[in-house]
Structure 1
Amino acid sequence: MSATEFKLYDNVFIETNIQSIDYDAVILILYPEDLNVPLPRHIGSFIDNIAKVDKHIHKTATVWNCEYVSGGRLVLSPTGKITPYHDARVVKDAAIKGMQRALDAGAKKPLLVVQNVVRFPVGQLVCILGALESLYVPLQIRERDATKNFLRIGLHSEEQLSEKFERTVRNAIAIEKSRIFTRDIAGSDPERMTPNNIAEYVKTTFQGDSNITLNVIDDMETINKEYPLLAAVSRASSQIERHRPRVVEIEYRPSDLARVTSTLLLVGKGVTYDTGGADLKISGKMAGMARDKCGAAAVAGFLKACAILKPPHLKVIGVLCLCRNSIGEDSYVPDELLISRSGKTVRVTNTDAEGRFAMADALFKMGEIADTELNPHIYTIATLTGHARLCYGNYTAALDNFSAVGHSRDLQSTGGKVAEGFEDSVIRPEDFSVNVGKCRGDDLIQVDTDAKCRHHQLAAGFLIKVGGLETKNIKYTHLDIAGAAGAPPCEPSAVPIVTLCQIHKVLM
């Protein structure tokens, strides 16, 4: 066999022969002529001829009977016009549409042509990830029906096997494994992924990873003492055993700690369901709130990528802050004065601003840990505010503290290369002052309900203040993925795993 085998959750191969008998369709991404992307030699003249028959091949995915390719079927998936304003998402979108069109046509063993396009330096990785993403089957469907939607996937780059392309495929498979893990947590319903069920799923997924250590905090006395703001959010849900909060700590250590040059500390919001609490969501705004755990899911997924790819230069600590914001007789309510782990008193003003409370105490703890680590960088990752989505649509709002200034711009640039969109947002002085308490005895207020603007920025300001990072010279970046995480009926996007892997050199 001319292919080199890899494993995802089924067979994935590198194939050097576009006419191999092992496949039943070939998928080719069509780029605009002005990019001068060469067509595979077997089918170049065929595509030139059909382009004269139907110009529509450059507008939508089509299927053609072609004797020059494996299976006799050729799926053409165009990117459409590419302008200087486009980034690598055009490659990802074309790969997704092409793979979906092949499956819709009945293909079970598609072969994807993965071309090297100068305009997109990481385009081959993006192309493969797009194709693999389209194959994802939600966990709760897989648990009912183990039938796969494909038998094998082939990836063709050149007629010779190259070490560089093999490395790209290995990276793509590692990332996709971590993204499947992330989507499973983020997309499953609030009963399948209760705090305890997430903790158990994390344990199962990391079983056998020798470079990973896990610690699950489930004792309510400990949570009440060490994570008081998280405990307040989950007070109503804590009356039900399966909905009680969990704090899951995951640590990746490379085999040789002497080679570590940086430490990443990630805190993820894992609200398994957000009713809004006493400030109940109404008018249909509650549907979809099972996705409020996407931040914690992404943190877990990034740690899984590290466990597979084993970056020698990184130490990574992740914390999943898992709780349910329920309404009930023991709900936390506005006007309560709470004492955070940092010692700051915080006045509750809106129980639907629970995400910053869920992460606050873990963030403070990460700040303490960072004092003893080499070159630390703290992240919070959360579906935190509707305001971020209103400002930036389906992009992640990235905000730096003074120590990390410039990192968000790097995320924006890197994200464009790997088909994950980021917007560089800025924290201003007023985003701190707006969080200062108004009543005697208040250090902070949960959220200023009179504020008419800058809600995702003031949320970052609150986290910096309550996390004790206002004056610390520790790099901190807040990622609000509310718009980017993926809302039903779309599957979770698993943002920002690919960008974090790229920018922190986790990939091989």
Structure 2
Amino acid sequence: MPFPKAVLETNTSQLSTTYDAYVLISNTLSSLHYPHIQTILEQHQSIDERVGITATLVAADVAGKRLLQVPVGQLTRDYDDVRRIFDAARHTAQMIIDSGIRKPLLEINLAGLTANQTAQFENAIEAAYLGLCQGLWQPLEAREALDEDVIEPIHCVGLIESEGNIDVQRLNALEAGKRLARDLCGTEPERMAPPGFADYCVDAFKGSNVSISVITDDAQIRHEYPLLHAVARASIEVKRHRPRIIRMVYEPVGEVTKTLLFAGKGITFDTGGADLKVNGHMAGMSRDKGGAAGVAGFMKTLSLLAPKGIKVIAELGAVRNSIGADAFIPDEIITSHAGIRVRVGNTDAEGRMLLADLLSHLREDAVNAINPELFSVATLTGHAAIALGPYTALVENKPARDQGIAQKLFAHGELCADQVEQSLSRREDFDFVKPRTKADDVISSNNGPSVTTMRGHQFPMAFLTIASGLDKHEANSELPLPFTHVDIAGSGIEDLDWQHGKPTGAPVNVFVNTYL
């Protein structure tokens, strides 16, 4: 899986033939490494007022004999953050390719900032590199059908840093993880039907330090993941659509001091089931596997960085929510892996069903784990996108809140262009899913869409807590288990364009920056 590799450069005097363009990403016209650049740009500005406003390509005595100045705009306002650099690089990617640039050398120069403002942009080089890679990425189908070297012609990105402080191994590991996440999320629903999704994961970790196993047996899935199997029921008759459970484990060398446990929602296509998506709302639902894709991407970066002290266990449910004679339906009562009787409220609220069973299995791992933290990651609700826009929503239980897990993720997300926002779990959420009869223990959902439901992205966390058995591990229990639900419905696809937008790889970056 080739991608533009980051290369650290510290001496600009020897790079005239190595790179074919010098890309200056900056909030001024000045350069730290080529002082004459400012004069050239100011002279060009006298005939082109776009200089300093939009990306501008000029001839210059720099690496490659051409200079591309990419302005990032104002950075000193209260609401400016490192995404200014990420987005500037991302939006310039196509211009770089169209200009014939194949080996760019990047300098990031942010001038005139206070010490506090400079701290906000400490990961500017990382943001520029990852933003450029985001813009350069092309879908897996396109890379397979067309000449990959033509549609993704840039294989190397130089990063200039006189102090040599850039960790390019880490940057390349980050992009490798994000690329795996984008490929898994963004590929069409037949190529990435559950068996194909599982096979792609197996290939991605072949020979690595992450052990991976896949459950394929229908009877085993029905017995051990009953809620997940119910969602998959209408897909069983089509062999290429049958569900898969993918389990990944990373064991560090030496002592374990922390354990992370991830459940990933991998709905490879969501018809809505019996509560069928209508009026064109089914288009783009092949991206409903973004949560599982993001977890797989994090595991890829983890495998390449091989950190000490941290153990990670992930379970991904790859399932197609099909419609058919055997589809699960509202009003069914299905007993979860944790022994909880779940009444189905809406079959288009399928993601939380499979996550509950995955979390129940991870709960059993967590009971004996060292300093465990549990997460569910999913493109779960339209409400998260409506409420928070392009930000990842975090909903914690009290043990997680007591440990400040969402606060840690928030702080690191602000610095790495993968922002998150905290949503609180409230008593109203648990009241919303409480049983109305003695026939069941919890209700999966109301019968309406999340976007028109109050607290539509918060109450699913209450359901997950009960259906997975995590409510037995509250803050006042003998064994509290911190659990954070991560909803990437707003952050997982560029511009919230589920049908055509590029997957972002969220939340790979924020988890890497927080834990690795």
Show the counterpart of 1:71.
64
Show the counterpart of 1:222.
220
CA distance in 1, matches of 2:188, 2:7: 33
Show the counterpart of 1:102.
96
Deviations 1:266-287 (Å, cap 9, x if unpaired)? 0000000000000000000000
Deviates more, 1:447-456 or 1:226-235: 447-456
What are structure 1's unaligned runs of at least 5 residues? Answer: 1-6
Amino acid at match of 1:153: C
CA distance in 1, matches of 2:445, 2:28: 49
CA contact (8 A) 2:31 2:37 kept: no
CA contact (8 A) 1:32 1:81 kept: no
SS in 2 for 1:235: helix
Show the counterpart of 1:180.
179
CA contact (8 A) 2:269 2:320 kept: yes
SS in 2 for 1:456: coil
Whether 1:45 and 2:35 are equivalent positions in the alignment is no
CA distance in 2, matches of 1:252, 1:146: 35
Deviations 1:386-409 (Å, cap 9, x if unpaired)? 000110111111111100113212
Which residues of 2 match residues 14-93 of structure 1 at below 5 A? 14-15=8-9, 16-17=11-12, 20-32=16-28, 38=32, 40-66=34-60, 68-82=61-75, 83-93=77-87
CA contact (8 A) 1:109 1:150 kept: no
Deviates more, 1:468-477 or 1:289-298: 468-477
Whether 1:338 and 2:331 are equivalent positions in the alignment is no
Show the counterpart of 2:477.
none
Deviations 1:20-66 (Å, cap 9, x if unpaired)? 11222221112158xx9856324132223334444422221121122
Cα offset, 1:129, TM superposition: 1.1
Show the counterpart of 1:292.
288
Show the counterpart of 1:425.
423
Show the counterpart of 1:193.
192
Deviates more, 1:116-125 or 1:371-380: 116-125
Cα offset, 1:490, TM superposition: 1.8
Whether 1:492 and 2:503 are equivalent positions in the alignment is yes
CA contact (8 A) 1:96 1:134 kept: yes
Which residues of 2 match residues 8-19 of structure 1 at below 5 A? 9=3, 12-15=6-9, 16-17=11-12
CA distance in 2, matches of 1:11, 1:343: 48
CA distance in 2, matches of 1:154, 1:197: 31
CA distance in 2, matches of 1:293, 1:441: 32
CA contact (8 A) 1:247 1:321 kept: yes
CA distance in 2, matches of 1:157, 1:9: 19
Show the counterpart of 1:155.
158
SS in 1 for 2:470: coil
SS in 1 for 2:179: helix
Show the counterpart of 2:462.
461
CA distance in 2, matches of 1:146, 1:138: 12
CA distance in 1, matches of 2:296, 2:483: 19
Cα offset, 1:439, TM superposition: 2.5
Q: 1:441 aligns with which of 435, 439, 442?
A: 439
CA distance in 2, matches of 1:468, 1:439: 20
Show the counterpart of 1:4.
none
Amino acid at match of 1:27: V
CA distance in 2, matches of 1:255, 1:394: 37
CA distance in 2, matches of 1:8, 1:42: 35
Cα offset, 1:80, TM superposition: 1.2
Whether 1:474 and 2:481 are equivalent positions in the alignment is yes
CA distance in 2, matches of 1:9, 1:453: 42
CA contact (8 A) 2:284 2:500 kept: no
SS in 2 for 1:485: coil
SS in 1 for 2:138: coil
State the number of aligned residues. Answer: 489
CA contact (8 A) 1:380 1:477 kept: yes
Amino acid at match of 2:23: I
Cα offset, 1:10, TM superposition: 5.8
CA contact (8 A) 2:253 2:309 kept: no
Cα offset, 1:154, TM superposition: 3.6
CA distance in 2, matches of 1:187, 1:152: 21
SS in 2 for 1:86: coil
Cα offset, 1:315, TM superposition: 0.1
CA distance in 1, matches of 2:250, 2:263: 14
Q: Say what the alpha-carbon RMSD is for the aligned residues.
A: 1.9
Amino acid at match of 2:71: P
Cα offset, 1:71, TM superposition: 2.5
Whether 1:324 and 2:311 are equivalent positions in the alignment is no
CA distance in 2, matches of 1:404, 1:335: 33
CA contact (8 A) 2:6 2:129 kept: no
Amino acid at match of 2:51: I
CA contact (8 A) 1:115 1:124 kept: no
Show the counterpart of 1:305.
301
Change (3 A) 1:337 1:376: same
Deviations 1:277-300 (Å, cap 9, x if unpaired)? 000000000000000000001111
CA contact (8 A) 2:8 2:158 kept: yes
CA distance in 2, matches of 1:11, 1:171: 11
CA distance in 1, matches of 2:370, 2:459: 29
SS in 2 for 1:272: strand
Change (3 A) 1:31 1:43: same
CA contact (8 A) 2:25 2:70 kept: yes
CA distance in 2, matches of 1:92, 1:461: 35
Amino acid at match of 2:485: H
CA contact (8 A) 2:106 2:158 kept: yes
Give TM-score, length-normalised by structure 1.
0.92
Give TM-score, length-normalised by structure 2.
0.91
CA distance in 2, matches of 1:432, 1:445: 10
CA distance in 2, matches of 1:13, 1:365: 41
CA distance in 2, matches of 1:459, 1:231: 19
Deviations 1:290-338 (Å, cap 9, x if unpaired)? 0000000111111111110001011000111110000001011111111
CA contact (8 A) 2:4 2:157 kept: no
Cα offset, 1:488, TM superposition: 3.3
Deviations 1:169-210 (Å, cap 9, x if unpaired)? 21111111111111111000000001111111111111110x
CA distance in 2, matches of 1:346, 1:422: 30
CA contact (8 A) 1:108 1:151 kept: yes
CA contact (8 A) 2:12 2:33 kept: no
Cα offset, 1:70, TM superposition: 2.3
